[in-house]
Structure 1
Amino acid sequence: MSSHEHQLDPTFYRSPGEAIAAPSERLAYVVAYDRDAAVSDALTVVDTDPDSPDFGQVVGWSDLPTFGDELHHFGWNACSSAFAHAGHRTSGLRRRYLLLPGLRSSNIHVFDTHPDPRRPRLSRTVTAAELAAAAGYSRPHTLHCGPDGIYLSCLGAANGGDGPGGIAVLDHDTFDVVRAWETDRGPQHLAYDAWWHLNQNTLITSEWGTPAMIENGLDPELLLANRYGHALHFWDLAEGRHVQRVDLGAQHQMVLELRPSHDPGATWGFVGVVVSTEDLSASVWRWHREDGNWQAEKVITIPAEPAPAERLPPALQPFGAVPPLVTDINLAVDDRFLYVSCWGTGELKQYDVGDPARPREVGSVRLGGITGRVAHPSEPAEPLSGGPQMVEVSRDGRRVYATNSLYGAWDDQFYPDGVGGWMAKFDTDPDAGGGLAVDERFFPHGEDFRGLRVHQVRLEGGDASSDSYCFP
C-alpha cells in the first residue's frame, strides 16, 4: 500500500473482506421526522455496543433548524469508493459528514460527526433553491459517495411536481451542488435509486414516480393503470450517458432499492419490486450482464396473504388480502445473504444467495404488519404498527437493523390508526447458514424517539449499503 493510501480514513476498506474484518459498529445514526411538521426532524444516535450500559438507547439527538423536511434516506460524504477517486484529493478525505436530504423540503442538511460522534453538529444547509439552480432537480432521495463527487438521486425536476428526476453531483469538500450528472438521459423519466458497478464503469437507476405521483400517498388509479416505474436503466458512469433500458413488465410496479454485488469484479445485483398489479405479490429481480447486454429476471416471488376485509385499511379492503409490499432489500457485504423487508405483512425474510440466480429462504421473523401487529418480545402486550421497512446489515453480516416507517402519506394509508416509531435488531450467524432472531434487549421506540417516526439507519464505520469496494 502506498504512503498516500496510508493517509486515508481507516474506515475506507480496500475490499469487502477488509470491511468484514473491521471493528464492529458501536453507534447507529437514525433519522427521525415529524409527520405534522410541528417540530423539527432530527438526526438521532443509538448505542449498538452490547457491552454498553446504554445499549439499545438513544444517546444523541440533533435537531434540524427547519420544519417539514421529512428526513428519509441519508448517507456519508465519503466511503471506500475513495480508492477509485481520480484527480481528487483523497488523503484528507474522511467518513465524517452525514448528508440528510429532506424529501419534502428539498433542503440538504450536513452534519459533522466529529469530534463527538454522539453529538453531530449542523455544518451546512444546502437549500432547495441551490439544488434547483445548479442541477435542475428537487426532492432529493438517496445519496452515495462516488469517484468524482457525492451522487444524489432526486425524484423531481426543479419545479418540484413532475420529472424528469435524476442525479445531482455535489462536491466532496464544500457540498456545493456542482451539476446534473446526466449528459444523455435517453428514455429515463421516473427516478428513484442509483448505484453502480464502479470497476465496470456502469451506473444503474430504478424507478418510483414523480413527486406529484407519490407525495399525497399511493394513487390507486395510477397503480391499476401501471403508471408507476417498472424498469431499470443502465448508464455509462464516466460519461453520464444512458446505455440500456430493461423493462420488468408494466405490472411490476415501483422498482425501488438497488443492491449491486459488493464483489468489484461481479456484474450482478438485486432490485426489489413493491407490488404486482396482477396478484398483489412482491418480487426481487436479479440483473446481470451477458454477451455485453444487461438482463433482468425475477428470482423471488412473495405472494399476498388473504385477510378479512374488516381487518384491512380502506385502500386494501376491495382486494381481501395483504400485499407483502417489499419496500427495501439489503445485501450482506460478503454477497451471501439477501434481506427482504415485507412492510405490509410485517415480515423480514433472509435468503441465501450464494447462487444469486437461485435464492433460497433460510430465515424469517415478523414484527408488526397490517393485520398481524406482531409484538416485540420485549413488549409482548404491545401490538406493533408498521413493519420492518428500511433494513441495514452490519459489515460482518451478524446484525440486522430495521425501522418501521415508509413515507408519511403512505404510512397513513396502510396504517391509518398510526404507525408509531420503532427500531429493532435481529441477530444471525452466517457460519451456521443463517436464521434470524429478534434481540430482546434492543427496542428503542415511541418516546425514545420523542414520538417521531424513524426511517433509515447508518452504522458507524460503514454498513452493507454505504460502501463500494474497488479490490476483490
Structure 2
Amino acid sequence: MTAAPHDHAGRPAPDPTLYRTPADAIAAPAETLAYVVGFDPAAQRPDALFTLDTDPSSPSYGRVLHRAELGTLGDELHHFGWNACSSALSHTGHHHPERRYLLLPGLRSSRIHVFDTAPDPVRPRPVKVVEAAELAAKAGYSRPHTLHCGPHGVYLSCLGGAGADGPGGVALLDHETFEVRRPWESERGPQHLAYDIWWHLTAGVAVTSEWGTPSMVENGVDPELLLARRYGHALHFWDLDTGRHLQRVDLGDRHQMVLELRPAHDPGHTWGFVGVVVDVEDLSASVWLWYRDGDRFAVRKVVTLPAEPADPALLPPVLRPFGAVPPLVTDINLSVDDRRLYVSAWGTGELIQYDVSDPHHPRRLGSVRLGGITGRHPHPSAPATGLTGGPQMVEVSRDGRRVYLTNSLYRAWDDQFYPDGIDPWLVKLDTDPDRGGLTVDPAFFPHGADFAGLRVHQTRLAGGDASSDSYCFR
C-alpha cells in the first residue's frame, strides 16, 4: 500500500475529507464522484464497484466512468464503506488516517474485498481479499453486512455465526491491514439476531439492531416466521469500549425487522432513528426514535406509514392474500445537520422527506414516487417507461442538497416482491436544506445497460456522506 502524502515539512498531510465537526463537513466542497456496488443475482458474472460522475459541470455528468469487477463469483455485494471516517481524528489505530480504501463485504460469500481509490479515484483497484475462513476463525462470524470505522478498528456487523446460523454480531478488523482481529462483544447478554451497528461516540455507547439469521433471510421473507413474530424486533445498547451488553429495548413483536440505524450526527446528542419494515397486524411500516431517558434508553414510534390497498391481481404471490401493498421501509437516512430524515418505502415506491428539527415530532415535508410494486412510477427523463423496484438505499450529500437512490434490496427479496425482475437504476434528487421539498434531476439517471445489467444497492460519495461519517467534536 502506497505512502500517504506529506506536507512541505515532510509530515503526513491531513486528509481534507476528515472533518472535525458536522458543520465542517457541510461546508466542504461537494462530491464529484459516487461509488455504487452492483451484483449479479444469478451469480454467473462477477459483482462490481462502479464509479459515477456527480459533477454537474462535467460533460460526463450522471454517467458511469468505470467498472471494477471482483475476481470471484457469488458475493452479492450489499453494504460497503470506508476504512476511515471523521471519527479517526480522535481515536487511535491509524498511523495516518485517510479516507482511501473501500471495503466491500459479500453478503452471500462472506468475503471482504478491499479496493484502493488512490492514486486514481475514478479507477479503484483491488488490493486485498479477506476470505470467509478468516472471518469465521478469528471472529466467529459469517455473512458480513455493514461496516464503520471506529475507535478500536473497523466494526463489521455480521448476520451469522461461523459454521452455524447464529448468533450474529460484530467483528473487529484492523484499521490499516484489514485483517480480522476478534469479535467485538465481550458480554453478549440476550442479543442473538444482528443487522446494523452505530454509536454515540462521545457517550461511549453503541447501538445494534435485528433482522434475522442467514436461514431466516437468504431465501426471502418466510411468511411463517413473520406471522410467528420470529424476526428481530429489538434494539441493543452496548458499552462501546468493552463490547459489554447494557440494555435491550423491545419495540414489540408485532414490529418485525428492525433495520437501519441513524444516530444524530451532533456528538452532544444521544438520540437516533431506526426503521421497521412491517407491522404484522396491519402491514404498516414505521420509524422509531431512541433517546436517553435518565440513565437508560427508551424508544417511541414517531412515523407510521400505512399499507396501500391494491387489486390482488396486480400483486406478487406473497402479497395477494392481503390485497394491499406494504410500504416496506427498508432504509432511512438522516442529514448531517440532523434536520431532515429520509424514509424509503420500497414496496409502495415512495421516498419521503421529514423535518426532524424536533426529533420527537417529525413533520412531513415532501415525497417522490419512483417505481413501486403496483405503481411503476416513471423517471421524468423516460415518462413512458415504468420503473421496476422502488426507492431503497438512500444516501444524502454532506451539505444536504442532493439525495441518491438505488432500487434493489436483496436478491431473494427482489424476487419475492418484484418477480418480473428489477432493472437497475440510480436516481438523484435535489432539495433545499432550509425549505425542504424534493425534485428529481432529469439529467442524472444511469440505469439498465449502464450497470451492465447488475443490480445496484448502496452508494458512497467521495469525501463522505450522511451515513458513513461520525463526529467527535461540535
- Which category of TM-score, normalised to the shorter sequence, fits these structures? over 0.9
- In structure 2, the residue matched to 1:177 is 180
- In structure 1, the residue matched to 2:82 is 76
* Residues matched between the structures, number: 466
- In structure 1, the residue matched to 2:148 is 144
- In structure 1, the residue matched to 2:255 is 252
Deviation string, structure 1 residues 62-103 (Cα, Å, up to 9, x no partner): 0000001000000000010112213x344x221000000000
**1:82-161 paired onto structure 2 within 5 Å:** 82-86=88-92, 88-90=93-95, 92-159=96-163, 161=164
Matches of 2:11 and 2:403 in 1, distance apart? 31
The correspondence for 2:362, drawn from 359, 363, 366, is 359
Matches of 1:170 and 1:470 in 2, distance apart? 21
SS in 1 for 2:408: coil
Q: TM-score of the superposition, structure 1-length normalised?
A: 0.98
Matches of 1:408 and 1:401 in 2, distance apart? 21
Matches of 2:168 and 2:473 in 1, distance apart? 32
Partner AA of 2:113 in structure 1: H
- In structure 2, the residue matched to 1:426 is 429
Deviation string, structure 1 residues 115-164 (Cα, Å, up to 9, x no partner): 000100001000000000000000000000101210000000001x5110
Partner AA of 1:395 in structure 2: R
Matches of 1:301 and 1:448 in 2, distance apart? 36
Distance 1:37 1:244, change over 3 A: same
Gaps of 5+ in 2: 1-8
Matches of 1:239 and 1:299 in 2, distance apart? 31
The correspondence for 2:446, drawn from 419, 444, 447, is 444
Matches of 1:37 and 1:193 in 2, distance apart? 25
SS in 2 for 1:368: coil
Distance 1:4 1:85, change over 3 A: farther
Matches of 1:188 and 1:83 in 2, distance apart? 31
Matches of 1:434 and 1:388 in 2, distance apart? 18
* Offset at residue 5 of structure 1 (A): 11
Deviation string, structure 1 residues 306-346 (Cα, Å, up to 9, x no partner): 00100100000000000000000000000000000000000
* Offset at residue 420 of structure 1 (A): 1.3
* Offset at residue 7 of structure 1 (A): 3.7
- In structure 2, the residue matched to 1:389 is 392
Matches of 1:401 and 1:430 in 2, distance apart? 15
The correspondence for 1:412, drawn from 412, 415, 418, is 415
Partner AA of 2:51 in structure 1: V
The correspondence for 1:188, drawn from 180, 188, 191, is 191
* Cα RMSD (Å): 1.1
The correspondence for 1:10, drawn from 16, 41, 45, is 16
Matches of 2:229 and 2:242 in 1, distance apart? 31
Matches of 1:208 and 1:289 in 2, distance apart? 23
- In structure 2, the residue matched to 1:50 is 56
Residues 41, 411 of structure 2: 8 Å contact kept: yes
Residues 346, 389 of structure 2: 8 Å contact kept: yes
Matches of 2:216 and 2:350 in 1, distance apart? 27
The correspondence for 1:288, drawn from 285, 291, 310, is 291
Residues 260, 274 of structure 2: 8 Å contact kept: yes
- 1:20 and 2:30 correspond: no
Matches of 1:60 and 1:239 in 2, distance apart? 41
* Offset at residue 6 of structure 1 (A): 8.1
Matches of 1:4 and 1:386 in 2, distance apart? 51
Matches of 1:38 and 1:164 in 2, distance apart? 30
Distance 1:377 1:89, change over 3 A: closer
- 1:455 and 2:457 correspond: yes
Residues 89, 97 of structure 2: 8 Å contact kept: no
Deviation string, structure 1 residues 211-243 (Cα, Å, up to 9, x no partner): 000001110000000000000000000010000
What fraction of aligned residue pairs are identical, expressed as a percent? 71
* Offset at residue 188 of structure 1 (A): 0.1
Matches of 1:285 and 1:383 in 2, distance apart? 32
Matches of 1:233 and 1:84 in 2, distance apart? 25
- In structure 2, the residue matched to 1:207 is 210
* Structure 1 stretches of at least 4 aligned residues deviating more than 6 Å after TM superposition: 3-6
* Offset at residue 356 of structure 1 (A): 0.2
**1:213-228 paired onto structure 2 within 5 Å:** 213-228=216-231
Partner AA of 1:100 in structure 2: L
Deviation string, structure 1 residues 387-415 (Cα, Å, up to 9, x no partner): 01000000000000000000001000000
- In structure 2, the residue matched to 1:324 is 327
Matches of 2:426 and 2:74 in 1, distance apart? 22
Matches of 1:290 and 1:298 in 2, distance apart? 15
The correspondence for 1:301, drawn from 304, 311, 322, is 304
SS in 2 for 1:330: strand
Q: TM-score of the superposition, structure 2-length normalised?
A: 0.97
Gaps of 5+ in 1: none
Matches of 1:205 and 1:315 in 2, distance apart? 29
Matches of 1:423 and 1:382 in 2, distance apart? 15
Partner AA of 2:35 in structure 1: Y
Matches of 1:383 and 1:100 in 2, distance apart? 31
Partner AA of 1:224 in structure 2: L
Matches of 1:4 and 1:274 in 2, distance apart? 52
Matches of 1:168 and 1:84 in 2, distance apart? 21
Matches of 1:343 and 1:321 in 2, distance apart? 14
